[in-house]
């Protein structure tokens, strides 16, 4: 008859509650990643708003068609003109089209009591985002006014200034919140690993007493912490990716703000942060218990 006995699991060096640590790290990284994706989409929205701003170029009256076309060619050659699919974003509005639009919006036909159409042919252009600042726009305006055939260059200066001011304020606020969330996430992960390693403090001391070197004792914990950081980062990226695509399916216009490169940077950063925090926190925690006296371990 075989002797029955209770089988106990042996506690190995480096082994501690992995599930709790991974769940905590994943949750912290998900919060950080969600805010990072919010910042990325806010940045893209800023670009969309700026790219929708137009500069109006009013032409001199009675220009022949060949000169109107020539003006367009000169405008298109400027390096600050926004291009989409290789085509410069330049629109032409004749004075007849401008009059029809004005009459449709106001319901008043000004040509009847003026006897003529005082409006001018014009081009509407869009400027690259990096040039949509007050100083750059003033410089661009002077360049455009020097083109033969252009009478006046006009843009909503107050609107652009307000957009720039609000974007700068929002950027400062978002940066502050992101920094706070980053520090909070690192502290949460660090405390989780420290708490998990608390159960290993006597095993660490036992290894130390039998002559194991500090590097030998630290290696399994550092390895496990690094792997946990990697796993947590990957899980956080997968969950965020699913949530992001779900949001795209529900809100169609949100897909316009998608930037694969920036989203990839956010995901990569989460994985790197998870690995580094797991590695550094494990190393610091083990070193702490290596330095404590036996009385301090209780």
Among 155, 190, 209, give the residue marking a domain's end: 155
Q: Tell me which residue has tokens 């367009």.
A: 72
The kind and range of the H/E element at 152 are: strand 150-154
Examine residue 131 and state whether it is found in any structural domain, yes or no.
yes
Is the domain of 258 the same as that of 115? no
Examine residue 4 and state whether it is found in any structural domain, yes or no.
no
Is the domain of 267 the same as that of 285? yes
Examine residue 269 and state whether it is found in any structural domain, yes or no.
yes
pLDDT, position 20 = 79
Examine residue 262 and state whether it is found in any structural domain, yes or no.
yes
First to last CA, the chain: 43
Is the domain of 135 the same as that of 117? yes
Measured CA to CA, the distance from residue 33 to residue 236 in angstroms comes to 8
pLDDT in tens, 246-289: 988 888 888 888 888 999 999 999 999 999 988 888 888 777 76
Is the domain of 61 the same as that of 39? no
The closest of 143, 147, 148 to 127, measured between CA atoms, is: 143
Measured CA to CA, the distance from residue 91 to residue 187 in angstroms comes to 54
**Structure-token pair, residue 51:** 């790219």
Among 125, 155, 185, give the residue marking a domain's end: 155
Is the domain of 269 the same as that of 202? yes
Of 70-74, 206-210, 226-230, which gets the smallest average pLDDT?
206-210
Is the domain of 285 the same as that of 184? yes
Higher pLDDT: 209 or 267? It is 267
How many CA atoms does the CB half-sphere of 95 hold within 13 Å? Answer: 14
Cα–Cα–Cα angle for 141, 144, 148, nearest 5°? 145
Measured CA to CA, the distance from residue 82 to residue 90 in angstroms comes to 9
Is the domain of 145 the same as that of 179? no
Sheet holding 122-126, edge to edge: 90-93, 122-126, 54-59, 150-154
pLDDT in tens, 122-166: 999 988 877 877 778 888 888 898 899 998 888 876 666 677 777
Is the domain of 88 the same as that of 150? yes
**Structure-token pair, residue 147:** 């083109």
pLDDT, position 17 = 57
pLDDT in tens, 14-66: 445 577 788 888 988 998 899 889 888 888 887 777 777 788 899 988 888 89
Among 155, 190, 224, give the residue marking a domain's end: 155
Q: Tell me which residue has tokens 């002559």.
A: 211
Is the domain of 32 the same as that of 172? yes
Number of domains in the chain: 2
Give me the phi and psi of 210, to 5 degrees please: -85, 5
Measured CA to CA, the distance from residue 29 to residue 37 in angstroms comes to 12
Examine residue 6 and state whether it is found in any structural domain, yes or no.
no
| Domain that residue 58 falls in | 54-155
Cα–Cα–Cα angle for 250, 254, 255, nearest 5°? 95
Is the domain of 216 the same as that of 93? no
Task: Please state the pTM of the whole predicted model.
Answer: 0.68
Is the domain of 173 the same as that of 124? no
Is the domain of 225 the same as that of 287? yes
CATH number at residue 134: 3.30.70.3040
Measured CA to CA, the distance from residue 50 to residue 132 in angstroms comes to 7
- Beta carbons within 10 angstroms of residue 60's beta carbon: 15
Q: Tell me which residue has tokens 């004749």.
A: 94
């Amino acid at each position: 008859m075989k002797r029955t006995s209770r089988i106990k699991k042996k506690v190995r060096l480096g082994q501690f509650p992995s599930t709790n640590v991974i769940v905590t790290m994943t949750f912290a990284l998900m919060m950080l990643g969600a805010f990072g994706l919010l910042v990325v989409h806010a940045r893209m929205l800023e670009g969309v708003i700026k790219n929708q701003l137009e500069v109006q170029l009013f032409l001199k009256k009675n220009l022949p068609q060949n000169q109107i076309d020539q003006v367009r060619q000169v405008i298109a050659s400027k390096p600050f003109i926004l291009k989409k699919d290789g085509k410069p974003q330049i629109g032409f509005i004749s004075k007849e089209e401008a009059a029809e639009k004005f009459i449709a919006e106001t319901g008043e036909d000004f040509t009847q009591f003026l006897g003529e159409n005082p409006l001018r042919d014009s081009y509407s252009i869009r400027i690259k985002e990096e040039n949509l600042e007050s100083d750059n726009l003033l410089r661009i305006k002077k360049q455009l006014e020097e083109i033969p055939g252009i009478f006046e260059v006009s843009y909503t200066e107050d609107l652009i200034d307000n957009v720039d001011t609000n974007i700068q304020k929002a950027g400062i606020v978002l940066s502050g919140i992101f920094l706070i969330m980053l520090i909070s996430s690192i502290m949460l992960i660090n405390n989780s690993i420290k708490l998990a390693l608390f159960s290993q403090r006597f095993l660490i001391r036992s290894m130390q007493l039998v002559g194991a070197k500090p590097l030998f004792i630290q290696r399994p914990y550092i390895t496990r912490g690094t792997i946990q950081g990697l796993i947590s980062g990957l899980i956080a990226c997968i969950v965020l990716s699913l949530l992001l695509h779900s949001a795209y399916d529900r809100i169609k216009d949100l897909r316009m703000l998608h930037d694969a490169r920036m989203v990839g940077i956010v995901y990569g950063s989460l994985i790197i942060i998870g690995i580094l925090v797991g590695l550094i926190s494990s190393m610091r925690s083990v070193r702490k218990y290596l330095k404590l006296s036996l009385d301090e371990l209780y």
